[in-house]
Chain A
Amino acid sequence: MNNREFEQKKAKRDRRTAAIGATAVFAVLTALYAVLTDLTHVLDPVLFPGLGVILPEMARSSGELLKGFLYSMRLLIPSLAAGILAGVACGLAVGMHPKVKLVLMPLFRALNPVPPTMLIPYAIAVLPSFWLSSAVIIFLGVFWPVLMSTLHGVVMLEPRWIDNARCLQLTGRKLVFKVILPGAMPQIFAGIGSGLIFSFILLTVAEMFGAKAGMGFYVQYYADFAEYGKVLGGILFLSVVVILLMTIFDRIQRRVLYWTNKR
């Protein structure tokens, strides 16, 4: 098990290098911005307010930002969850029935590339509330990549796993939950990853169109008043939120797909 210890040490070292390196890069960029704004005033002070403006603005509107965050999450989380669940369920159901897949694949190929942003004006017109129309847009943005990757995952299942399942006479639920779902999980997670990134884009775009609150609304609202200190503060806040959500996603992924790097 010496090898393992070595691997663990190496991983620890790598993590430290990454943490120190990333912090350094971040610090240099922040300092550069400070030099260009507060210190030398090279950049336009209205469009590029200094850190001395942005940070106090962020602190002042922390209540508003937090409210916006909660509002955004109330839209994002259910839409995201529904998109993932529906994508995986449909992907498994269709992927496990080759004939159904044969019939539906052309439809999927036609609908999949339609950018959900294109549907925003129409969704707002058709659906009764802003929340529902945005939720549907985000849902679609997550649903398609997850559906396609789940289908791919089912196709990519190794024949030996199928042989194995057949020898054990696994059928129905057990076949799905013990073999097909775990076997397709690497692809499913790839789909969820891109769906997650789409969902952030769609969330903020949708909020800029017609919301009364939320992180996208915050940025749009203060941009209209040319309060760019708040705009940049909002963008900064949003990126921190995205980083946190991506970190959570990575953690879950590493946990679920633990077996893939132990093969």
Chain B
Amino acid sequence: MNKPPLIELRDLSFSHAGEQTLAHIDLSVAASEFIAVIGPSGCGKSTLLRLVGGLLMPSSGEVLVGGKNVTGPGLDRAMVFQDYSLFPWSSCADNIVLALEQARPELTRAERRQIADDYLTMVGLANAGRKLPGELSGGMRQRAAIARALAMNSPILLMDEPFGALDAITRAKQQDMLLEIWQAGGSLKKTVIFVTHDVDEALILAGRVIVLGVCPGHVAADIPVDLPRPRSRATLMADGRFRELRERLMQELNDAVERQLAASQEQQGGSGI
């Protein structure tokens, strides 16, 4: 990992309405790295992603992307949210075309249509281009959202629990698809920050897992996932190293939750019963 970091968070803090959600976060992500951010709910993992996405501005510290301070959202960072990356009034293909008009204005109309179709085919939605997002199942909708993010050709992909609302089987399929597409990038792999609360998901996908602690959100652990790629779900589940990492992550998360509980009890005690 000698490459200069593509994304860098320096002493990043964020407060909203007088409450500190993130405190003193330092984090570097190299180009083509796939990192997962995991933590109990309320730890500020979505906030962290929105800060990198430029949808929120830090209270102090800075977010650097490619060495430049982030001042707002940019087309270099494609975002995929849990269930709302597409506009419900446009068909899937039109949603992608709109994103392409913004991200790749040099293309012709026909090229945009073609690329939209290509990416929809790539995620297995060859026939769903003319459908409205609301006419698709949750899993298909997320695949369309991923197709849009990929079509934009942004070097950075920010994903906020994209599979969080899906059932276990659909979720596994989506993970496999994402992994396959990411690995197919070869030396031009996208840099991915993937927020999740699912330990298995983090270990299957990521090369590094950041565990966020709570009250306020801070980096509790930064764990490299030294599992060989390409990975397959079946062999991983039986892998000793996978189970070791899983154990460790569970422990970290448990500690974070316990600290959260202790802190909230302390607060209640302080207010006097």
Contacts and interface: CB of A to CB of B under 8 A. Distances in A.
B134 A262 contact: yes
Contacts of B35: none
Interface string A161-187: 101101111100010001100110100
Nearest to B72: A166
A163 B55 contact: yes
B74 A168 contact: no
Nearest to B83: A160
Given A167-B79, A168-B102, A161 B87 contact: yes
Interface in B56-99: 72-75, 77-79, 81, 84-90, 98-99
Given A167-B78, A167-B79, A178 B87 contact: yes
A168 B72 CA distance: 11
A263 interface: yes
B84 A183 contact: no
Contact of A169 (B81, B89, B90, B102): B102
A170 B100 CA distance: 11
Contacts of B99: 168
B73 A183 contact: no
Interface of B: 53-55, 72-75, 77-79, 81, 84-90, 98-99, 101-103, 132, 134-135
Contact of A160 (B77, B81, B90): B81
Nearest to B86: A164
A182 B102 contact: no
Contacts of A158: 84
Nearest to A170: B102
A166 B55 contact: yes
Given A166-B54, A167-B53, A262-B135, 10 more contacts: A160-B84, A164-B87, A166-B55, A166-B73, A168-B98, A168-B103, A169-B102, A170-B98, A262-B88, A262-B132
Nearest to B78: A167
Contacts of A179: 87
A225 interface: no
A169 B99 CA distance: 9
The 9 closest A-B pairs by CB, nearest first: A262-B134, A160-B84, A263-B134, A182-B89, A259-B89, A166-B73, A167-B73, A168-B102, A167-B79
A63 to B, nearest CB: 45
B119 to A, nearest CB: 16
A41 B65 CA distance: 88
B54 to A, nearest CB: 8
Interface in A160-217: 160-161, 163-164, 166-170, 174, 178-179, 182-183, 185
Given A166-B73, A168-B98, A169-B74, A263 B55 contact: no
Contacts of A174: 101
A183 to B, nearest CB: 7
Interface in A236-263: 258-260, 262-263
A186 to B, nearest CB: 10
A260 B135 CA distance: 11
Most buried by A among B87, B88, B89, B99: B89
A169 B75 contact: yes
A158 B83 CA distance: 13
A203 to B, nearest CB: 32
Most buried by B among A167, A169, A183: A167
Nearest to B79: A167
Most buried by B among A166, A170, A258: A166
Contacts of A161: 84, 87
A178 B86 CA distance: 12
B57 to A, nearest CB: 12
Contacts of B53: 167
Given A167-B55, A263-B134, A182 B87 contact: yes
A171 to B, nearest CB: 10
A13 to B, nearest CB: 22
A174 B90 CA distance: 14
14 contacts: A158-B84, A160-B84, A161-B84, A163-B81, A164-B84, A167-B55, A167-B73, A167-B77, A167-B79, A168-B99, A169-B74, A182-B89, A182-B90, A263-B88
Contacts of A260: 88
